[in-house]
Amino acid sequence: MTGDSSALMAEAILEGDKARLHAPPNPWVGALVVVDGSVIASGHTQVPGESHAEVEALRHAGERARGATMVVTLEPCCHVGRTGPCVDAIIEAGISRVVVGVLDPDPRVAGRGVARLREAGLEVQVGVHIEAVRAQLASYLWHRVTGRPYVVLKVAATLDGVVAMADGSSQWITGDAARRDAHVLRAQSQAIIVGANTVRLDDPLLNARLDDVTLEPLRVVLGHAPAGARVHPCWQRQGELGVLLDELGEHDILQVLVEGGATVASAFLEAGLVNHVVWYVAPAMAGSASGRGALAELSTPAMASLRRARFTDVQRVGEDVRMDLEV
């Protein structure tokens, strides 16, 4: 592929996507080795304990890496963790120029990787296609800055915002395609949070069932789950939600998916703890008198109190619509 740095970074982002499900708690990084504007090798982060994206790309490039450019979504690491420093591998391979999407806020890196490369005489460019890279690595970056996981709230509702009928039933408001899509959200999260009432009513498994694999995120129940519920083993927690997020962050949970009903969704929004909302809308209508509103317990006393968000994407998923909002 031939193109400028931005186009090459876009390709590195796609390479990083390949690591999205298996890399955490490490970041899902993509790296390219480029000669005369053409990609000669690529790599992405392997499972924890195995090689990072830069080392993978260099391995595929071999001796062709000498004098080449490396394009990498996240600043290369400069510390010893489960693996050695990527900056050393880049320097030893003879790379002459490194293009970085975003600096790594991890205090063990935080600009030191770029500084080490420059000290070794490499040309380094930082901030290429930075907004797209930040969006891809949002949960990792948030965790490294705040110590808490990035919170994604998922809602599946009718056109008029109902998530459950008067009799408590909620399966299924959305269609098969939207439910499959929601399982990808689960797979991208290391923990799923629901309320005890959801467990009692629906008895969910809360795993991520994809076409070729089933993943088991940490299951967190707000309250007490019945002894025979399928959600076990799980964490059962009560108290302040912020304290729970601190605990999850200490356990290297980068992203949590909040799947609880109206009570749990309202509580997270009321506390200002939601980073991102994924709202599935079904082409169906229930009527507010006939069902439970998605945010029935959210208090908004005046127009000035509206919790405003920004649409980042709207797409059709089967017969339903998925709306992504940054809070």
Instruction: Please list the active-site residues.
Output: 54
Structure tokens that stand for 85 in this block: 């420093």
Residue-wise burial string across 84-98, b where 16 or more C-beta atoms lie within 10 A, e elsewhere: ebbbbbbbebebebb
3-state secondary structure the chain: CECCHHHHHHHHHHHHHCCCCCCCCCCCCEEEEEECCEEEEEEECCCCCCCCHHHHHHHHHHHHHCCCEEEEEECCCCCCCCCCCHHHHHHHHCCCEEEEEECCCCCCCCCHHHHHHHHCCCEEEECCCHHHHHHHCHHHHHHHHHCCCEEEEEEEECCCCEEEECCCCCCCCCCHHHHHHHHHHHHCCCEEEEEHHHHHHHCCCCCEECCCCEECCEEEEECCCCCCCCCCCCEEECCCHHHHHHHHHHCCCCEEEECCCHHHHHHHHHCCCCCEEEEEECCCCCCCCCEEECCCCCCCCCHHHCCCCEEEEEEEECCEEEEEEEC
Alpha-carbon distance of 222 to 235, in angstroms, equals 8
Q: Between the CA of residue 38 and those of 32, 34, 56, 92, 124, what are the distances in Å?
A: 10, 5, 18, 21, 18
Q: How far apart are CA 2 and CA 223, in angstroms?
A: 55
